Amino acid sequence: MFKTLLARARQGYRTAGFPAEEPGLPALFRGRPELDPTKCTDGCRQCVDACPTGALRVAEAGVELDIGRCIFCEECVAACPEGAIAFTRDWRVAASRREDLIVTDDNRPRVDALGRELRRLLGRSLRLRQVSAGGCNGCEVEVNALGNVVFDGSRFGIEFVASPRHADGILVTGPVTANMKQALLITYEAVAEPKLVIAAGACAISGGLYRSHPEVSDGIEGLLPVDLYIPGCPPHPITMLDGLLRLLGRL
């Protein structure tokens, strides 16, 4: 017991100071991408051809990057000869609307807070049932990290529950494989109204690397109404926490 207390004392206070303080992000963290259309050369498609998920496309106004499909691999950065694409360290990439995930320059996605009545019903808590709909376990591990001592979502009333009947909504990860589709829909129906749906990770938003495969549904779009999109492959716990707090009107 003495050794345990001594080790705890040496560790000190481990909970991150976010959102009151800037988060401590790892050195290799890749956040919100920025595009500089003035650097794009007419007819150049090198970044588009390099993208493994089809997140980039050439539009009339220039190149568009869909961070709902993006896996933040930076293959496009390496392929672009003019340096028109860069990934910043901005963790704020969650959005309320799917169209807000389309990046054309240095624009930032935004999260709209829930209505006053729904926030009143939720009070100071948010209970979520997490559904892994065929994920690789990357997003699932980061979701689990929200409950550890560093990120500690419970200090904001954000907790994950075992039963959808005890939940205010569901948080979905994975591309929704054929054998998980019915289970996902049943879980959603079991949550009492009003309920929230959160898509976490590229797979849940768009299918990610598995998009267009005959055994997946390309994420939950078209299956369920989505209240919050959290891009990433996987999304960092700070990105998820930031999106959830903005949804709750806490930021």
pLDDT in the model for residue 40:
85
pLDDT at 250 over 80: yes
pLDDT in the model for residue 115:
95
pLDDT in the model for residue 3:
83
Give per-residue pLDDT as tens, 74-122.
999 999 999 999 999 999 999 999 999 999 988 889 999 999 999 999 9
Structure tokens that stand for 169 in this block: 């909504």
Measuring CA to CA, which residue among 235, 156, 224 is closest to residue 195? 224
Give per-residue pLDDT as tens, 211-245.
999 999 999 989 999 999 999 999 999 999 999 99
Confidence class of residue 8 from pLDDT cuts 50, 70 and 90? confident
CATH number for the domain running over 116-247: 3.40.50.12280
pLDDT in the model for residue 172:
98
Measuring CA to CA, which residue among 193, 121, 130, 200 is closest to residue 163? 130
pLDDT in the model for residue 2:
80
Give per-residue pLDDT as tens, 152-170.
999 999 999 999 999 999 9
Q: How many Å apart are CA 185 and CA 180, to the nearest integer?
A: 9
Q: Where are the domains of the chain?
A: 33-90, 116-247
pLDDT at 203 over 80: yes
Class of domain 33-90 as given by CATH: alpha beta
Q: Alpha helices of 89-236 — where are they, by DSSP H?
A: 116-122, 138-145, 178-190, 202-206
Confidence class of residue 62 from pLDDT cuts 50, 70 and 90? confident
Please answer whether residues 155 and 20 qualify as being in contact, where contact means their C-beta atoms are separated by less than 8 angstroms.
no
Confidence class of residue 59 from pLDDT cuts 50, 70 and 90? confident
pLDDT in the model for residue 173:
98
Q: What is the mean pLDDT of the chain?
A: 93
Q: At a CB cut-off of 8 Å and minimum separation 6, what does 37 contact? A: 61, 62, 63, 84, 104, 105
pLDDT in the model for residue 43:
79
pLDDT in the model for residue 106:
80
Span 39-68, average pLDDT: 89
